[in-house]
Structure 1
């Protein structure tokens, strides 16, 4: 697969529908850290990139679009479908939480909230697809999705990324797979996962995708039970480093981003930074480090009351 070519094509394809998100270099203690703030993307996460790339080159049937999501992917697919004039049915688990559920509903999709976690939502989506012929937009293990997510790294390099190492949070692996596909080993990539939702770490140890139990404060965004095949293949080929962080470390990084940078992000969005702040990943002397902030759909919405009548 010529990932750089398909990612470049994806970037041109989706350019009018996604934002070029800002970057900054910030001093943390004695270290400069490079950030990209992808929580400022359309619908609050990088997921819009993969959703638009998929739908803009798909033949959407009369039955429309179906997707399963922990929240962010569903909002992105719903938004992309509405923008492009398609109907969408989105399945989310109850653990998605009220803020993400409200975000999806606001995009106009046919929203179905089901008991359980992401795996249960995925099963319902597969049943709907089989029954109706709707096209399914996979959240992480599909070429078009991965190519769309890879545009983050292509864009960041065009913005002058000055880093040896990039820390990226991992759920199902679409975002990090896109980054690996674009970079082709030119920079070190570190995969960061919660200790209680670590499908990539488990697969790297086992040598193949395996099912893992999922829980913790970032589970509604990083809670894939099994890593994507494409992500695992790229990760093994490039020999990436995999680290895990605690819920406490994630919450502390989330608080630090607000206190120091006034960036309000969800737990998944703070997970990559948690590795740096907690010492789960310790850079070498002189190593230039970058952190990708991937999502900002905080639950509950801290300003929701301001938009309510009365």
Structure 2
């Protein structure tokens, strides 16, 4: 489980499972101030249930488990403190499945509140995320609950890959898709579709959280230090082996951007579109605004704005 690399057929299967449950993708053309030469579309995946793309993979996982009668009575357990935990909690509620979330005492109170609103049982334990993860593993061993975040990365990645299926249907002339990279689940799913449809995929990371970029340089998965304004959603210490494999085999490109470029991109989206997105979402757009990725003349680009679980008060000045 979790060792296989997602392929196109996994994504099409996910598309069938999540149809009618997740929100269809909304796509708009970027304002002229963001894209002076045109040709840039914004995929508003942050409008998804749970506020991020994570709902797609979570629904695919739970639906697949129910289909195969593999979901235990104890349901799901998670020990991630960001969008993934919220996505799993939302999917569990949608299917009437128990969900238990372990958080460290350093987790944002808003995360715990949102998880409780979604019906998850929240257990705050340990001073660090590692201690919360240890408690979650003990719970999984004692109850048989499925550790949602690591149980089957193919199912969660394939769910995220459906973003590009929908984007390509809405923009059939698409040349390139740009997405932010954390642990690499969304990148892997999107890359599986991109290869099939002959679309280039650009993975973007903050300079202070570049697990994929470092893995490509070392030709192996390796741990990296995390220090970025986007660490709450992109702060993975290591990228998945599947993401590294796709980055090496697909028509893929990995770039990094500075935190100041991410902050500026987030502000520009607010100024020109009145869309409040999180820093992780803005990371993808920052690659173009800061010149980390330079499009070819006439290149048609789709940028995935993947999440909006953010405090928007700093945008209103």
Residue ranges of structure 2 left out of the alignment (5+ in a row):
none
1:91 to 93, 102, 111: 102
Distance 1:40 1:191 in 2: 21
Q: Deviations over 1:114-170 (max 9, x none)?
A: 5335x5544443332223211111269711111111111111111124321111100
Tell me, yes or no, if the aligned pair for 1:34 and 1:163 is still in contact at 8 Å: no
Within 5 A, what are the aligned runs for 1:224-263?
Answer: 224-238=236-250, 240-263=252-275
Tell me, yes or no, if the aligned pair for 1:141 and 1:228 is still in contact at 8 Å: no
Q: Secondary structure of the equivalent of 2:149?
A: coil
1:198 to 194, 210, 217: 210
Q: Secondary structure of the equivalent of 1:66?
A: strand
Distance 2:305 2:279 in 1: 10
Tell me, yes or no, if the aligned pair for 2:211 and 2:223 is still in contact at 8 Å: yes
How does the TM-score come out when normalised to structure 1?
0.90
Deviates more, 1:230-239 or 1:121-130: 121-130
Q: Secondary structure of the equivalent of 1:31?
A: coil
Partner of 1:134: 145
Partner of 2:77: 66
Tell me, yes or no, if the aligned pair for 2:176 and 2:302 is still in contact at 8 Å: yes
Deviates more, 1:199-208 or 1:183-192: 183-192
| 1:272 maps onto 2:276 in alignment | no
Distance 1:123 1:287 in 2: 47
| Number of residue pairs aligned between Structure 1 and Structure 2 | 301
Q: Secondary structure of the equivalent of 1:168?
A: strand
Q: Secondary structure of the equivalent of 1:282?
A: coil
When residues 134 and 210 of structure 1 are mapped into structure 2, their CA distance, relative to the original with a 3 A threshold, is: same
When residues 146 and 2 of structure 1 are mapped into structure 2, their CA distance, relative to the original with a 3 A threshold, is: closer
Q: Secondary structure of the equivalent of 1:138?
A: helix
When residues 178 and 17 of structure 1 are mapped into structure 2, their CA distance, relative to the original with a 3 A threshold, is: same
Tell me, yes or no, if the aligned pair for 2:6 and 2:189 is still in contact at 8 Å: no
Partner of 1:43: 50
Tell me, yes or no, if the aligned pair for 2:257 and 2:283 is still in contact at 8 Å: yes
Q: Secondary structure of the equivalent of 1:56?
A: helix
How does the TM-score come out when normalised to structure 2?
0.88
1:64 deviates by 1.8
Distance 1:236 1:91 in 2: 35
Partner of 1:308: none
Deviates more, 1:250-259 or 1:152-161: 152-161
Q: CA RMSD in A?
A: 2.1
1:55 to 59, 62, 67: 62
| 1:154 maps onto 2:165 in alignment | yes
Distance 1:124 1:301 in 2: 34
| 1:282 maps onto 2:288 in alignment | no
When residues 95 and 232 of structure 1 are mapped into structure 2, their CA distance, relative to the original with a 3 A threshold, is: farther
Partner of 1:305: none
Q: Secondary structure of the equivalent of 2:119?
A: coil
